[in-house]
């Protein structure tokens, strides 16, 4: 089964360039503005969109994305409303891949079978779950694959060659390499070190490898895109959104443009990089 993610990477390979992957929290700073931002991303240059599922105990997220999750929850965002946002996006865009990223607890409470059916119907293409290791694949990974959703696994600097085959066993769509040991936004990615890590992962899989955590500028995005099949940016976009809010944390007329303008700048950096070697 070819998914939107598979199709997008096939297109990018023909174009000879890497992907620009954006991350924003669903419902930040409110559901309506969040949908407007998500709708603006493809035109600004996003190839794949990751949407965070707000959660109260985000172990991998740094202060910026934690705050984004809290803004969204305060504005009434739920997993059900996140799927409604996906449906709203799909009314105008049936090609841009959408990936939900987050933690297992909200999905467990929602109900795995109901979540997968609703996510597929809404137009979700893939899932990234931070807290489900390969040993728990029967919980969500295998059912997701059977439902036609990609299950994208994280690999980190501490995932050694002995562990990688287990991590990659049921991974599909792409591999998400976390460039630093720590939470999001904690440090800058070192493109040389990342290049070595991506080359090592590629010895174990034919899947595209995208790199996230620690990428904030067009220059950094380009450096990573030269080494990998995609660069993922989240914290910098969340910070741009935050900085556009008023003193009460509400959206302003600048909010959508603040994110879209930064996405356009970062996308230009990625498009200046050559496709990473397969």
Average pLDDT, rounded, for the chain: 93
Q: CA 29, 30, 36, 41: dihedral to nearest 10 degrees?
A: 40
What pLDDT band is residue 213 in, cutting at 50, 70 and 90?
A: confident
Give the active site residues: 50, 61
pLDDT over 70 (residue 138): yes
Task: Using alpha carbons, select from 17, 14, 89 the residue that is nearest to residue 49.
Answer: 89
Q: Give me the mean pLDDT over the 126-133 stretch.
A: 95
E strands, the chain, in order: 19-25, 48-52, 98-102, 126-129, 150-151, 154-155, 175-178, 209-212, 230-233
Q: State percent of the chain over pLDDT 70.
A: 95
- Residue 123's Cα: distance from chain center in Å? 15
Contact residues for 64 (Cβ-Cβ < 8 A; gap 6+)? 184, 185, 235, 238, 239, 242
Sign of CA dihedral 204, 120, 19, 95: positive
pLDDT over 60 (residue 174): yes
Predicted local confidence at residue 225, as pLDDT = 93
pLDDT over 50 (residue 277): no
Predicted local confidence at residue 274, as pLDDT = 67
Cβ–Cβ < 8 Å for 120, 86: no
pLDDT digits (tens, 9 = 90+) for 14-43: 999 999 999 999 999 999 999 999 999 999
Predicted local confidence at residue 96, as pLDDT = 98
Integer Cα distance of 259 and 28 in angstroms? 12
Beta bridge partners of 49: 22, 98
Predicted local confidence at residue 2, as pLDDT = 83
Integer Cα distance of 197 and 184 in angstroms? 18
DSSP 120: H
Q: Give me the mean pLDDT over the 52-60 stretch.
A: 88
Sign of CA dihedral 188, 185, 173, 152: positive
Q: Give me the mean pLDDT over the 134-145 stretch.
A: 96
pLDDT over 70 (residue 207): yes
Integer Cα distance of 102 and 78 in angstroms? 12
pLDDT digits (tens, 9 = 90+) for 75-129: 999 999 999 999 999 999 999 999 999 999 999 999 999 999 999 999 999 999 9
Strands 98-102 and 154-155: unpaired
Cβ–Cβ < 8 Å for 162, 188: no
């Amino acid at each position: 089964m070819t998914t939107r993610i598979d199709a997008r990477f096939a297109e990018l390979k023909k174009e000879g360039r890497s992907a620009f992957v954006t991350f924003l929290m669903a419902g930040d700073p409110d559901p309506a503005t969040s949908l407007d931002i998500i709708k603006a991303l493809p035109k600004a240059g996003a190839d794949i969109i990751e949407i965070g599922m707000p959660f109260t105990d985000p172990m991998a997220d740094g202060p910026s994305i934690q705050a984004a999750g809290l803004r969204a929850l305060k504005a009434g965002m739920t997993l059900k409303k996140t799927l409604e946002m996906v449906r709203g996006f799909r009314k105008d865009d049936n090609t841009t891949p959408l990936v939900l990223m987050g933690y297992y607890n909200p999905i467990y409470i929602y109900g795995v079978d109901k979540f997968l059916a609703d996510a597929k119907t809404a137009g979700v293409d893939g899932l990234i779950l931070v807290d489900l290791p390969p040993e728990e694949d029967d919980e969500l990974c295998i059912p997701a694959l059977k439902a036609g959703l990609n299950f994208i696994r994280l690999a980190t600097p501490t995932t050694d060659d002995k562990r990688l085959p287990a991590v990659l066993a049921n991974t599909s769509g792409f591999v998400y390499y976390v460039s630093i040991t720590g939470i999001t936004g904690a440090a800058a990615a070192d493109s040389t070190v990342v290049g070595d890590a991506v080359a090592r992962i590629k010895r174990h899989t034919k899947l595209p490898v995208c790199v996230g955590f620690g990428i904030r500028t067009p220059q950094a995005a380009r450096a990573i895109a030269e080494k990998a099949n995609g660069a993922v940016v989240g914290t910098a976009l969340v910070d741009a959104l935050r900085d556009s809010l008023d003193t009460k944390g509400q959206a302003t007329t600048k909010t959508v443009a603040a994110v879209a303008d930064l996405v356009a700048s970062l996308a230009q950096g990625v498009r200046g990089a050559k496709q990473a070697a397969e």
